[in-house]
Amino acid sequence: MPSDLRSMAQHIKSGMRLALPVDYAGVSMAMTRPMIDHGAGDLHLICVPTGGLQVDQLIGAGLVTSVETSAVSLGEAGGAPRFNQAVKDGALRLRDATCPAIHAGLMAAQKGSPFVPMRGLIGTDVLRHRDDWRVIDNPFADGGDPIVLIPAIRPDIAIFHAPMADRFGNVWIGRRRELAAMAYASTQTLVTVERIVDHSLLADEMTAAGTLPALYVTDIGLAPGGAWPYGLWGEYPTDTDELARYARAARSAEGFAEYMASQAKVQA
């Protein structure tokens, strides 16, 4: 039985670390409003590996304390206005990263390892501002060869949107395997889907190949069009007009509040 999105939001407690996917990988925009209404704040967002509309809205709603990300933007619609304002105001703890470092941190958690090493990064200000990363000399080199160690990222909850689930709790993620990586690394995983099918996705090798097993899935909600205004691969395209409309509205706190209020009405 699919769960109600509002009851799914109850899993989120103040102070939790949430992992959210990149805009093209299946953002559960449908969960944004229930999350804001639920109101659990002091959230630590981990963008896998970049953030967009959902991150901007959660920041605008005042729920976010820190963001670990490789970027936050609205893509073609420009900068993320509430994020940018919060940065200017010093209202966010920023953990600027680079895409593969976020993947690396999740991979460490997936493997149950305290860290993984990663090439690159040496000499960047990204590294200079990360006191939670370490640099060691590669123990397999003859000396020198500095290499960065990225500690495991263990989110409390991963939240994403996918094309389908079955009634046994398995979720089809196709080739968007970062969604599986998020789930492996996270204690809980909340998923919204376009549809729920009766047959097991694991019963057939073709669907099984793109399936995240129920073992990792805490709760599933039915939300057709649930990535909107983002698109969902193989399902529907991004509504760039709506993203642009948001980008214009959210330039000010008032405009953001009005936009969110009008959205709430549409959804009610």
Partner 1 sequence: MTPALPREILICTIARLLEGVRTVAVGAASPMPAAASMLRRALDEGARQVRLSILGSVEHNFFTNGSTELFDCAGQGRLDAFFLGGGQIDGQANVNLVGVGDYPQSRVRWPGSFGSAYLYFTVPRVILFREEHTPRVLVEKVDFISAPGISPPGVYRPGGPVALLTSKALFSFDRERPGFTLESLHPGHDLAELHAATGFAFAHTDDPPVTPGPDTATLSLLRGRVLDELEETYPAFATDWRRDLAAAQPVT
Distance from C-alpha of 28 to C-alpha of 33, rounded to nearest angstrom: 10
Count of helices and strands (H, E) across the chain: 10, 12
Contact set for its own copies, span 214-233 (CB under 8 A): 233
Distance from C-alpha of 141 to C-alpha of 129, rounded to nearest angstrom: 26
- The single residue among 72, 162, 217, 227 that binds partner 1, judged by CB under 8 A, is 72
Structure tokens at 152: 């495991």
Contact set for partner 1, span 118-157 (CB under 8 A): 118-127, 129, 144-147
DSSP 156-176: SEEEEEEEEEETTS-EE-TT-
Least distance to partner 1 from the beta carbon of 245, Å? 17
Residue 45 near partner 1 by CB under 8 A: no
- The single residue among 1, 206, 261, 268 that binds its own copies, judged by CB under 8 A, is 206
DSSP 227-246: TTTS-BTTTB---HHHHHHH
Least distance to partner 1 from the beta carbon of 101, Å? 7
Of 127 and 149, which CB lies nearer to its own copies in the complex structure? Answer: 149
Of 135 and 253, which CB lies nearer to its own copies in the complex structure? Answer: 135
CA separation, residue 246 to residues 26, 54, 193 (Å): 19, 11, 24
Binding site for its own copies (CB under 8 A): 100, 104, 107, 111-119, 134, 136, 138-141, 145, 147, 149, 151, 173-175, 205-211, 233-234
